Amino acid sequence: MRHADDPALFLLLPEEFANNFAVINRSMIEVKNISKSFGEKVVLDGVSAIMEPGKTNLIIGSSGSGKTVFMKCMVGLLRPDDGEILYEGKNILAMDPQDLKDVRTQIGMLFQGSALFDSMTVENNVRFPLDMFTKNSKKEKLHRVDEVLSRVNLEGSNKKFPSEISGGMKKRVALARALVLNPKYLFCDEPNSGLDPQTSLVIDKLIKELTIEFKMTTVINTHDMNTVMESGDHIVYMHKGKKKWEGSSKEIIFNDDKDLNDFIFASEFLHKAKEMSRMEAEGKM
Ligand SMILES: Nc1ncnc2c1ncn2[C@@H]1O[C@H](COP(=O)(O)OP(=O)(O)OP(=O)(O)O)[C@@H](O)[C@H]1O
Ligand SMILES: [Mg+2]
């Protein structure tokens, strides 16, 4: 198979596709050997991983395994004790403040628990990053707010307050806010926490569609097995602060890692479903 950087590949591709391919290929995040401790407690212990460009990358693992700390290190909210975090080959831990600010404006983040400002309307919550990072006119900002609210199917909710909307709507407002600066990289920490399974699927589908539509590199922290099976282009499994396994949602069903299996197929029902999938794949059913 040709390597993505092979210039000959571009000669073989139609121009439009080659351009898209070049954009996607550049937006890779590479984490090299990062460690993070709080006092005596080692939370990340030499984690290396690649967040594949243009894909939905999932970080999975049980509660306390270090997913949120890992994500906060990747977006520059926490500084690891060791290691490198490369955006398009450049280490954000060694960048000057202006370059770091440039990278940050390309990052959208949906925090665990949505983190909306309760005293602000939906419109002002979504507008907040535009006020912080752009000099656009009020009219331009409101136009952009309407655009992203409509993309998450929340048109007309501008004047509502967070306390007046459901959990699923809050997640969509948080997603609209994460998208408002048109990011290249989208990070979502537990986008389904507190939602029913059907609403969770709607959010998953939306994130997956947006990833493709805006050619983003998306990283999602999740416990949700539906997300793992439906959205995991590339999955990283964290266990006790280390990366224990990585692969695709197809490969995860047949993995041989005991901790990963105990985590994913925790219930008797899922354990049986796994056995049936294996037998089907081996042609025994
Ligand atoms: N600021 C901090 N100070 C001290 N310890 C911390 C801090 N942030 C996280 N930790 C610890 O790091 C460990 C990993 O936490 P983290 O929030 O990354 O887990 P998680 O995998 O995201 O869990 P969950 O699935 O419950 O969200 C936990 O033991 C937590 O107590
Ligand atoms: Mg977490």
Task: Work out the angle between the directed axes of helices 167-179 and 122-133 (0-180°, nearest 10).
Answer: 20
The CA 68 to ligand 1 mean position distance, Å, reads 6
Residue 178: closest CA among 249, 230, 253, 128: 128
The CA 63 to ligand 2 mean position distance, Å, reads 7
pLDDT averaged per 10 residues in sequence order, the chain, 285 residues? 41 44 64 96 96 94 93 94 94 92 91 86 95 93 94 92 92 93 94 86 90 93 83 90 91 85 78 76 72
C-alpha neighbours within 13 Å on the C-beta side of residue 57 = 24
Position 26 scores a pLDDT of 63
Q: What is the CA radius of gyration of the chain?
A: 20
Instruction: Please name the residue that has the structure tokens 């403040």.
Output: 97
C-alpha 174/C-alpha 136 separation (Å) is 21
In single-letter form, the type of residue at position 153 comes to N
Residue of 35, 36, 37, 38 to test ligand 1 pocket, by largest number of atoms within 8 Å of CB? 38
Which residue's CA is minimally distant from atom 5 of ligand 1? 38
Position 118 scores a pLDDT of 92
C-alpha 122/C-alpha 233 separation (Å) is 31
User: What residues pack around ion ligand 2 (CB closer than 5 A)?
Assistant: 67-68
